[in-house]
Structure 1
Amino acid sequence: MRRYGPALVLILCGAAVLRISLFSELYLRYVQPGLRPYLIASGALLLMLGLVAAVVVARSSRADVVDEDDAEHLHDEGHHDHSHGPRVAWLLTVPALALLLFPPPALGAYSAERSAAEYAAQGIGKFHALPKGDPVDLTLSEFTSRAMYDSGRTMKGRTIRMTGFVTKDGDTWYVTRLLISCCAADARPDKIEIRGVDAPPTDVWVTVTGTWHPKGELGSEEAWPPVLDGTSVKHVRQPENPYEKR
């Protein structure tokens, strides 16, 4: 059985990658949607390599059968079989099985609270007008950009609706979303302080409706995080893609 270890690891890894990318949308917890074709190709390649390796090992085992006398002779002469990989290699099956059977959840409040908010310098200027009709659905990054850099104040007087998960800092609570450039490893939080409505439990996904509450000078540290005067909070299911793109 030990001879089949490398093949088994390849097969499990390939099956795990295909399970989250080809047969479900779970890959969105970890990477951007555009990487799906590469994940599928990688999973298929790993699976194929594992099957080929298993076939090669099976044929090699049949071709290299020795009788008991030969085996005893080799043992007496001090020869040992070093063809098997180290037992520690079997530990690689643990993350593969975990991904296959129990995919980790998307990053949440814990990750958001441990990351400092960092914004690249942007020029203050006028943004294009928001669509007509209220409420206007915005991503958290759109709301943040307009709140901090829009000299035209295009959100003033408009009803805004955003979706994210709940994070807290003492008595203050935020609707939060993690932004990624490539994968979950480079995620950073974007959060909006919510006032005027009671805070749901931490990590619960909500859709919040309200109006922008200006604070601080545009582009200043005092303007972050932006504030929404909430009028309603609705519990919702986590979206298939829990991240926003930078």
Structure 2
Amino acid sequence: MRRYGPALVLVLCAGAVLRISLFSELYLRYVQPGLRPYLIASGVLLLALGTVSAVAADRAARNEVRHEHADEQDEHAHGDDEHDHSHSPRVAWLLVVPALALLLFPPPALGSYSVERETAKYAAQGIGTFPALPEGDPVDLTLSQFTSRALYDSGRTMKGRTIRMTGFVTKDDDGTWYLTRLLISCCAADARPDKIEIRQSDAPAVDSWVSVTGTWIPKGKLGSDEAWPPVLAATDVRQVEQPENPYEKR
């Protein structure tokens, strides 16, 4: 079995990558949609390498059987060679654990724990005018669109408008709760939290996904720390399913 260990590890890794990228949308928990073709190509390449490795191992096994009646010196040399390489397959088997975990139990998207580890601070930059919001209420915005306008829009284009956004719930120790989304540039490793304080509504369960409708409450000077996080007075809070892509693009 040790002979086929590396090949099996490659095939398991290939299966895990292809499962989340080719046969499902789970890859969106970890990377941007644009990286999907590269994940699929990586999975196919790993599968091909695993197949080639298995074929090579099978040929080696056949050659070993063919020469099993070689003289004692050759058998001794073969035994030394096997000893020298016996540890390599054992190390390779360590990769089975994460591969199986990704294949059978893909980890969830980042949530409130990741937000608590980073405090976002905004400098007084980028203040200017923004395009007018589309007509009709409520207006659907992403959290990054809302926070950008709340912090930097000198024209106050959101004032008096009804806004609707989707995110997951996070809380402070004092009970204040936030509609939160993680922004990524490439993958989950560079995720940065974006959050909006929600008022006039009871807090749902932490990490639950909700759609919140309400009106913006201006606070602080544009671009200052006092303006962060922006505030929304909620008129409607509804629990929703987690979207296929739980992240927003920076």
The TM-score normalised by the length of structure 2 is: 0.93
Is the Cα–Cα contact under 8 Å of residues 127 and 154 in structure 2 kept in the other structure? yes
The answer as to 2:234 corresponding to 1:230 is yes
Q: What is residue 63 of structure 2 aligned with on the other side?
A: 63
C-alpha separation between the residues in 2 aligned to 1:77 and 1:126? 76
State the secondary structure of the residue aligned to 2:11: helix
Is the Cα–Cα contact under 8 Å of residues 122 and 224 in structure 2 kept in the other structure? no
1:93-146 deviation digits (Å, cap 9, x = unpaired): 100011111100000111111112144653211100000000000000000000
Query: Percent same amino acid among aligned pairs?
Result: 76
Deviates more, 1:97-106 or 1:71-80: 71-80
How far did residue 79 of structure 1 move? 3.4
Deviates more, 1:115-124 or 1:202-211: 115-124
The answer as to 2:245 corresponding to 1:244 is no
The answer as to 2:174 corresponding to 1:139 is no
Q: What is residue 79 of structure 1 aligned with on the other side?
A: 80
The answer as to 2:16 corresponding to 1:16 is yes
State the secondary structure of the residue aligned to 1:207: strand
Q: What is residue 179 of structure 2 aligned with on the other side?
A: 175
User: Structure 2 vs 1, CA of residues 132 and 97 (structure 1 numbering), >3 Å: closer, same or farther?
Assistant: same
Is the Cα–Cα contact under 8 Å of residues 192 and 228 in structure 1 kept in the other structure? yes
C-alpha separation between the residues in 2 aligned to 1:207 and 1:75? 71
Q: What is residue 195 of structure 1 aligned with on the other side?
A: 199
How far did residue 76 of structure 1 move? 10
Runs of 5+ unmatched residues, structure 1: none
How far did residue 83 of structure 1 move? 3.5
State the secondary structure of the residue aligned to 1:217: coil
Q: Which amino acid aligns with 2:80?
A: H
The answer as to 2:128 corresponding to 1:163 is no
The TM-score normalised by the length of structure 1 is: 0.95
State the secondary structure of the residue aligned to 1:134: coil
Runs of 5+ unmatched residues, structure 2: none
Is the Cα–Cα contact under 8 Å of residues 124 and 224 in structure 2 kept in the other structure? no
C-alpha separation between the residues in 1 aligned to 2:205 and 2:80? 64
C-alpha separation between the residues in 2 aligned to 1:130 and 1:74? 80
Superposition pairs of residues 201-216 of structure 1, within 5 angstroms: 201-216=205-220
C-alpha separation between the residues in 1 aligned to 2:71 and 2:143? 72
How far did residue 202 of structure 1 move? 0.3
Is the Cα–Cα contact under 8 Å of residues 74 and 80 in structure 1 kept in the other structure? no
State the secondary structure of the residue aligned to 2:43: helix
User: Structure 2 vs 1, CA of residues 13 and 118 (structure 1 numbering), >3 Å: closer, same or farther?
Assistant: farther
User: Structure 2 vs 1, CA of residues 126 and 86 (structure 1 numbering), >3 Å: closer, same or farther?
Assistant: same
Q: What is residue 46 of structure 2 aligned with on the other side?
A: 46
State the secondary structure of the residue aligned to 1:27: helix
State the secondary structure of the residue aligned to 2:178: strand
Q: Which amino acid aligns with 2:32?
A: Q
State the secondary structure of the residue aligned to 1:64: helix
Is the Cα–Cα contact under 8 Å of residues 14 and 46 in structure 2 kept in the other structure? yes
State the secondary structure of the residue aligned to 1:79: helix
How far did residue 67 of structure 1 move? 2.7
Q: State the number of aligned residues.
A: 246
Is the Cα–Cα contact under 8 Å of residues 212 and 228 in structure 1 kept in the other structure? yes
Q: Which amino acid aligns with 1:30?
A: Y
Q: What is residue 151 of structure 1 aligned with on the other side?
A: 154
C-alpha separation between the residues in 2 aligned to 1:112 and 1:15? 31
